[in-house]
Amino acid sequence: MFCNDLDSNYYKTLYDLESYLRFIVKWEVRGNYVKDWEGVLSAEINKGIRDKESQEREFRYVTHQATGYFSYLTISELKDIILGPLWAKNFTKYWGSHDVVSGDFKKLIAVRNKIGHFRSLTSRDAKIIDDFIYYLESWTDNYSNTYRFASVFLNGDININKEKWSDSYKKTTATWIKYCGLNKLTHTSEFKKRGNYFSLSLSQENGSYKPDLVIQLFLKNSKYIPFFKVNELSNILIIYVPLGFDDSIISTIIEEVFEVANEIENYMSSDELFNRYQKLSNESIIPWGFTIPSRFKK
């Protein structure tokens, strides 16, 4: 009725843009600061998140996201984290001038707040969003390289000692290989190192992994598994775990993943699966069509 095509299209664009910024902040924070990641966020930001969570649990007007910690960050807070504690180590090499990026964010946030309060956009406003996206696609191209150049481990072709890795990384990789038992799996599996994460992919053709068990797995281990993906048939499951956890944690995670993978049921419709996985709708479930990690694409 009142929402024109320009407003509708750019609302979706800003939703995807803000979700992507939330993803890369979480990717960097959880991957680089494995056990002490909350300390990267300021005390003020952590308090704000907990206050918002508490309000949702108390009032129950909207569905509380049990593991959606980063979902409560505003775009201004995402900007502050990127340009603050994460800047020197994770972003300055690829994003360039701090002052220029800060200025770009200020213009973007002004437009975001305008549409967030349901005021119509102009073509000039739209150009600010388009310009930011143009730069963001370039700034985040390194994530596509991380995806393309992942170390892949498949059955029977593993020689860690040939790799030019640190001793600690070789040790961690050996632990994953040991507990995955890659040469003995009944499932089709793929094990990769992507940046500061290991990913474990399991798939089978006899039915769907049970959504309730997958959700329980994640809720129980969310402090160890920041991200996971499941396809529309729920017969392919991928988990992402930061490097740096102890062997005992790694072995427990892998054991529980395989327990879930061994429980399958007849294929369900995509609508039924969507409804069942919607119980865990937050920033941790990555859309199947989005590769992890990758550059931003409009």
* Strands, E assignment, the chain: 151-153, 188-194, 197-203, 208-209, 227-230, 236-242, 264-265
Rounded CA-CA distance 58/61 in Å is: 9
With cut-offs at 50, 70 and 90, classify the pLDDT of residue 164.
Answer: low
pLDDT digits (tens, 9 = 90+) for 250-285: 888 888 888 888 888 888 887 888 888 876 666 788
Q: Look at the pTM and tell me if it is higher than 0.85.
A: yes
